[in-house]
Structure 1
Amino acid sequence: MVDDIEVVVSHSERTTLRIGDMFLKVDADAERLEAEAKAMARAPIPTPLILWQQRSVLALAALPGRPLGRLGEPSTQSATAWEATGAAIRKLHDAPLPPWVGQGAEEIAAKLDEECDWLVSNGLLPGGVVKRSRRVAAAALRPWTPAFIHGDLQIAHVFIDENDQVAGVLDWSEAAQGDALYDIATLTLGHPEHLDDLIAGYGSSVDVDVIRGWWSVRSLLAARWLIEHGFDPDAPGCEFDVLRSQG
């Protein structure tokens, strides 16, 4: 008997299917999929077991536990789980650098200006909100010491086991050398109430203005892609709410 096939996420770039306890990731960019597999092999924290791999398909074993949370919804995980996540991310950031270099501050700033113009010209957000958010974003665009970052560390990509420990981290396609605070900001996007717990587990102080800056950067840059791929950045608690709250 064949298990039912569940479409987890699907858009023009990638599709993820679940078949029983196996996930199939189909990626139009075979090199990106190969880089994801290599990043998981390098990561010093739990990742999904790779069952098999073809040029454009990666088969992964399902992780145990439950997601740390989801954007737009309250996280029901404990402070201990958030602290454990912080400790795991610190271990990743302290690991030897991968060979892939992520975007630099100047490149991000140029894209940011383009996306801000697009948001205003299409009437998606008031000009005042966009201008203020761009000003907040400037704090993140400073020189940083490169770290091994996940690069897309959304709250739904971290799974927590029954002991409030990290069971595994998903979706490593954006892993590269980058700013460690970007990962921390991505994890707490829309969940600022858990930032202190995450930092407690991380084990060192962080510049909260930079975290806020990355919240703005990610929200501003993601909007067009989300809209064009059928997602809604204006859903409650999501990217546009984050930008509106940055007053």
Structure 2
Amino acid sequence: MDEVKVVVAHSERATLRVGDVFLKVDADQARIDVEVEALALVPVPTPRVLWREPPVLAITAVPGTALGRLGAPSPASPAAWAAAGAAVRRLHEAPLPPWTGRRRRGPEELAAELDGECESLVANGILPADLVTRNRQVAEAAIRPWTPAFTHGDLQLDHVFVDGDEVTGIIDWSEAGPGDALFDLATLTLGHEEHLDDVLAGYGTDVDVDVIRAWWSLRSLLGVRWLFEHGFDPSAPGCEVDVLRARM
């Protein structure tokens, strides 16, 4: 009999694995709506939807292994990272989806959110003031107008699966929608700066690397408090706090 394995669980959602089936439980049906629509549209390998019975979505597992994990060395080859970059480029070149995207913020709104989060991080003693100040300065480069692309929206490296040097599947599409292409590239390489050149080689077009670095700081600053509050540890070696320290 297959065991039930908890892949991730917090107050907003949970994902369970039973054999080769993943069960995603989410009280926010808008997230599931986006995931189902994105899976039908994107030009990259994805899981297959088996059934949907709110609040549960059942999808197939994808073959291969994750590109890596935040906080640990990646077992994948440079060619596999390049293949991931090429897959992301195909996604970004696809026609924009018909929805506006979740939590998409313009430059002014993003700057205001970031400033409020930075104030909270310092006021509550979560991070040192000099670390926050320096990364807020770095993050400024990401706060600018951009041309929307079809983005994954949460392209963590453990959402990309590879077999050898080929991408076999990209999972977790609930944040997909029009967005900043460089945010996807930054999320994919967060904590794995050594593989940025491999990803960009596969992506195949010039990008502003300073903006990617800015997104590393911005995403980490916005994520640290949420991670602590939901039972994760962003101060673990190689994770978000180390990403921020690297900018010092």
Q: What TM bracket, shorter-length normalisation?
A: over 0.9
Please name the residue that 2:233 is paired with.
232
Q: CA deviation at 1:100?
A: 2.7
Please name the residue that 2:144 is paired with.
142
Give the partner amino acid of 1:141.
Answer: I
Aligned residues: 245
Please name the residue that 2:198 is paired with.
197
What are the within-5 Å matches in structure 2 for residues 19-38 of structure 1? 19-38=18-37
Please name the residue that 2:182 is paired with.
181
1:190-236 residue CA offsets vs partner (Å, 9 max, x unmatched): 00000001000000111111001100110011111111110011010
Please name the residue that 2:44 is paired with.
45
Please name the residue that 1:66 is paired with.
65
Moved more, 107-116 or 144-153: 107-116
Query: Is the Cα–Cα contact under 8 Å of residues 126 and 225 in structure 2 kept in the other structure?
Result: no
For structure 2, the 5+ residue unaligned runs are none
- TM-score (structure 2 length as normaliser): 0.97
1:96-149 residue CA offsets vs partner (Å, 9 max, x unmatched): 001233222222211111110111011111101100100100000111010000
Give the Cα separation in 2 of the matches to 1:115 and 1:232. 18
Give the Cα separation in 2 of the matches to 1:110 and 1:100. 24
Q: Pick the aligned partner of 1:160 from 159, 162, 171.
A: 162
Q: CA deviation at 1:3?
A: 1.7
Query: Is the Cα–Cα contact under 8 Å of residues 103 and 178 in structure 1 kept in the other structure?
Result: no
Query: Is the Cα–Cα contact under 8 Å of residues 17 and 24 in structure 1 kept in the other structure?
Result: yes
Query: Is the Cα–Cα contact under 8 Å of residues 43 and 94 in structure 2 kept in the other structure?
Result: yes
Give the Cα separation in 1 of the matches to 2:28 and 2:74. 32
RMSD: 0.9
Query: Is the Cα–Cα contact under 8 Å of residues 118 and 132 in structure 2 kept in the other structure?
Result: yes
- TM-score (structure 1 length as normaliser): 0.97
Displaced runs of 4+ in structure 1, greater than 3 A?
Answer: none
Give the Cα separation in 2 of the matches to 1:103 and 1:55. 28
Give the Cα separation in 2 of the matches to 1:18 and 1:46. 19
For structure 1, the 5+ residue unaligned runs are none
The SS at the match of 2:7 is strand
Give the partner amino acid of 2:34.
Answer: A
Please name the residue that 1:211 is paired with.
212
Give the partner amino acid of 1:170.
Answer: I
Equivalent pairs: percent with the same residue? 64
Please name the residue that 1:121 is paired with.
123
The SS at the match of 1:227 is helix
Q: CA deviation at 1:55?
A: 2.1
Give the Cα separation in 1 of the matches to 2:187 and 2:107. 17
Moved more, 25-34 or 146-155: 25-34
